[in-house]
Structure 1
Amino acid sequence: MPKKLGIHAGNRVLLDGAPAGFALDELPADVVLHRRNAPGLYDVIVLFCPNSARLRRRWPALHRLTPPAGALWVAWPKRASGLTTDLDEAGVRAFALANGRVDVKVCAIDATWSGLKHVIRVQDR
Structure 2
Amino acid sequence: MTQTGYSGRPLSRKLGLKPGMTCWRAEMPEDIADLLNAQEPGQLVMASPTPMLDCAHVFVREKDVLSLHLADLRDLLAPDGMIWVSWPKKSSKMPTTVTEDVIRDICLPMGLVDVKVCAVDTVWSGLKLVIRKEKRAEQKEKLAVQASRSAGNQSGQSNGR
Cα deviation code 1:19-60 (max 9, x no counterpart): 3433213105x31123x3154432111011111011112211
Using the alignment, how far apart are the partners of 1:99 and 1:40 within structure 2? 17
Hey, which of these two has a bigger chunk of helix by percent? 2
Instruction: Say yes or no: does 1:83 pair with 2:94.
Output: yes
Residue from 44, 47, 71 that aligns with 1:32: 44
**Equivalent position amino acid for 2:127 in 1:** L
Using the TM superposition, give the Cα deviation of residue 95 of structure 1 relative to its aligned residue in structure 2, in angstroms: 1.4
Identity of aligned residues (%): 35
1:60 match: secondary structure: helix
Using the alignment, how far apart are the partners of 1:50 and 1:44 within structure 2? 20
Q: Any gaps of 5 or more consecutive residues in structure 2?
A: 1-10, 137-161
Cα distance, 1:108–1:16 mapped onto 2, change above 3 Å: same
Root mean square deviation of aligned Cα: 1.6
Structure 1 stretches of at least 4 aligned residues deviating more than 6 Å after TM superposition: none
Using the alignment, how far apart are the partners of 1:31 and 1:120 within structure 2? 21
Instruction: Say yes or no: does 1:7 pair with 2:32.
Output: no
Choose 1 or 2 for highest CA Rg. 2
* TM-score of the two chains, using structure 1 as the length reference: 0.89
**2:75 match:** 64
* TM-score of the two chains, using structure 2 as the length reference: 0.70
Q: Any gaps of 5 or more consecutive residues in structure 1?
A: none
**Equivalent position amino acid for 2:40 in 1:** L
Using the alignment, how far apart are the partners of 1:19 and 1:56 within structure 2? 20
